[in-house]
């Protein structure tokens, strides 16, 4: 996005420059760049989701190996609110 030529000069009338808005302001045909940004974003989001799921699976495996019932209950009571917030987002 930093190397795109803008049709109306270098001034962008926004405080936060979002990539789709900058691509709309550019003079070049940016269809492939838009597709590239979308593909990279999807892979990044999918990678983060997989990392979070694998992390929680590992946490639950470790918690299930805790020998005392009270320890498992305490660990699950700490993890489940975090998991609930994750699914609500």
CA distance 87 to 32: 33
Q: Note the pLDDT of residue 10.
A: 60
Q: Tell me which H or E stretch contains 25.
A: helix 19-25
Encoded tokens for 36: 């590239």
Domain ranges within the chain, ordered by starting residue: 23-67
CA distance 65 to 31: 52
DSSP annotation of 77: H
Per-10-residue mean pLDDT for the chain, 89 residues long? Answer: 64 64 68 79 93 88 86 82 78
Burial (0-12, 13-18, 19+ Cβ within 10 Å), 61: exposed
Phi-psi region of 9 (alpha: psi -120 to 50; beta: other; left: phi over 0): left
**Beta carbons of 72 and 64 less than 8 angstroms apart:** yes
pTM above 0.75, yes or no: no
């Amino acid at each position: 996005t930093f190397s795109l030529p803008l049709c109306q000069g270098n001034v962008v009338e926004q405080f936060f420059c979002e990539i789709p808005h900058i691509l709309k302001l550019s003079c070049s045909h940016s269809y492939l760049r838009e597709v590239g940004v979308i593909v990279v974003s999807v892979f990044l989001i999918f990678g983060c989701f997989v990392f979070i799921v694998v992390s929680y699976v590992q946490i639950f495996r470790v918690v299930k190996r805790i020998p005392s019932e009270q320890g498992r209950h305490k660990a699950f009571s700490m993890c489940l609110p975090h998991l609930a917030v994750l699914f609500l987002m």
